[in-house]
Structure 1
Amino acid sequence: MSVRILALVGSLRTGSTNSQLAVAAVKHAPGGVTIEVFEELGDVPFYNQDIDTEAGLPAAARRLRTATGRADALLLFSPEYNGTIPAVLKNAIDWLSRPYGSGAISGKPVAVVGAALGQYGGVWAQDEARKAVGIAGGAVVEDAKLSIPASLARFSKTHPADDEEVVAGLIQVIERLAAQAAQVAPASA
């Protein structure tokens, strides 16, 4: 079975360590797993129920929901901003949670990983992301975690895709997420 994973990166900065981490995940995805990075999170407006209508739904929000619907699982890459989840990632979760009870994220396996400047690798933000995803209806894969501390120093000369320890951790998360997705009815069925 082929598993499709949609990656959402909570940093919009070009060259961010979390964007690089997503590139590493795409490059090192195990056989039978395809990872697609959703590149338009910055285009998705803040969630507003007034525009969440068939006639008014913003195009980027529609594309986010469609891409999520096609995916078998989600892999979120979260930096830590002021001790919590970045607004752009939280906003994506809000859009995917609607309509309540049947949003695109409903029942979909989700793992959260990330890199951050601090000594704990963004674990607070990642925990907040898991909390938000779970409340939104996603099926959080709690044992699929990867937190990379001191990311700027660690990746100043080495891309995450070339860091053996990081690649091994990513592969472990992806395999766990793919296994969970395989237990759920695939989106492509």
Structure 2
Amino acid sequence: MTYKVAYIIGSLSSTSVNRKLVGAMIADAPQDLEFVEANFSQFPLYSPDLEADYPQVATEFKTILEEADAVLIASPEYDRSIPGGLKNAIDWMGRPWGSNPIGGKPLYVVGASVGSVGAALGQAAVRQTLSFFNPLNMTQPEMFLQANADSFGEDGRFVDAGTQAFVKSAVEAFAEFIRRHA
């Protein structure tokens, strides 16, 4: 059986280390995981005034999440919290009221940052916000890595073999979590 994992990159940066982190995870992911991006980069800022004409990009985002067996979120930490774009996407995800495309699904929140705490506080804020949707949070192993563009090689994996081994073990643990709960 193949499990579809929707992934969300919490940064809007085209050179995001979190995009690279997901690439490193996919590079060593078990073959029964299929990854598809749920991209929110074109979302308008959420306002109830826009719900009557629900944006197509938000509909497509939610459809990807609804069709997925699990969700992976890789996000930096901005000012010790959630990046604004990701919070906006989460606000759209819960609309119209009562909508819940991730309820009961395996969820893994990871992150990388150039800062020394590697997005740890940002992850806590993401998990707290997403608790409203009641996903099945995988909380171990925690993955908050200090990384920059030079941390990754041509093959998309981490240059440091120990870090890539940790990433591989984490994505394998997520796969096992999905197999048990999806």
- TM normalised by structure 1 equals 0.84
Q: Residue 133 in 1 paired to residue 127 in 2?
A: no
Alignment partners' CA distance in 2, 1:98 and 1:140: 21
Q: What letter matches 1:45 in structure 2? A: P
Corresponding residue for residue 72 of structure 1 = 69
- Pair 29,15 (structure 1): closer, same or farther in 2 beyond 3 Å: same
Q: Which amino acid aligns with 2:44?
A: P
Question: Aligned residue pairs: how many?
Answer: 179
1:178 maps to: 175
State the Cα deviation string for residues 107-160 of structure 1 (Å, max 9, x = none): 1211111111211111000111111111232221122421112x12xx426336
SS of the residue corresponding to residue 48 of structure 2 reads coil
Shift of 1:52: 2.7
CA distance in 1, matches of 2:168, 2:112: 15
Q: Which residue is 2:46 aligned to?
A: 47
Range with greater deviation from structure 2 (22-31 or 59-68)? 22-31
CA distance in 2, matches of 1:171, 1:52: 40
Q: Alpha-carbon deviation of 1:92?
A: 1.9
Amino acid corresponding to residue 108 of structure 1 in structure 2: K
**Retained in 2: the 8 A contact 1:111–1:144?**
no
The answer to whether the 8 A contact 1:73-1:177 is kept is: no
Contact 1:110 1:138 in 2 (8 A): yes
Aligned-pair RMSD on alpha carbons?
Answer: 2.0
* Structure 1 CA distance for aligned equivalents of residues 34 and 132 of structure 2: 26
2:150 counterpart residue number = 156
For residues 130 and 30 of structure 2, the distance between their equivalents in structure 1, rounded to whole angstroms, comes to: 25
Q: TM-score, normalised by structure 2?
A: 0.87
Distance 1:158 1:178, change over 3 A: closer
1:113 aligns with 2:107: no
Do the aligned partners of residues 104 and 144 (structure 1) sit closer, same or farther apart at CA in structure 2, a change above 3 Å counting? farther
Q: Which amino acid aligns with 1:86?
A: P
Instruction: Report the CA distance between 1:161 and its aligned residue.
Output: 1.1
Divergent runs of 4+, >3 A: 98-102, 157-160
Structure 1, unpaired ranges of 5+: none
Q: Which runs of 5+ in 2 are unaligned?
A: none
